[in-house]
Amino acid sequence: MAAGKPLRAAVRFWQFSVQVTAMRCPICKTPVDSSPQNRYRPFCSERCRMVDLGTWAGEGYRVPGKQTEDREHPDDDPNRKKILH
């Protein structure tokens, strides 16, 4: 290395940009305009947007796994011994 020359990193970083030109509505599968002018993006219409929201609200989308008990507070456990002061 010559004196006075800056060191250059041996690692190069590559940036990839993905341009989506055509996408489909996740509900009805029709082609959707992916530009910011589509106010319902990624859906095709308000109807499909509301159908998806209703599915979320009705707990139609679930993550697989073991079911857990739903308790508000640990004191709600009926098997827990209560300490009287």
What is the rounded distance in angstroms from the CA atom of residue 85 to the CA atom of residue 81?
A: 13
pLDDT in tens, 2-59: 555 555 545 555 566 666 567 899 999 999 988 889 899 999 999 999 999 999 998 8
- Name 41's Cβ contacts closer than 8 Å, sequence gap at least 6: 32, 33, 34, 35
For 57, phi and psi rounded to 5 degrees? -65, -35
CATH superfamily of domain region 21-59: Erythroid Transcription Factor GATA-1, subunit A (3.30.50.10)
pTM value is: 0.51
More confident residue, 74 or 26: 26
> What pLDDT is recorded for position 30?
94
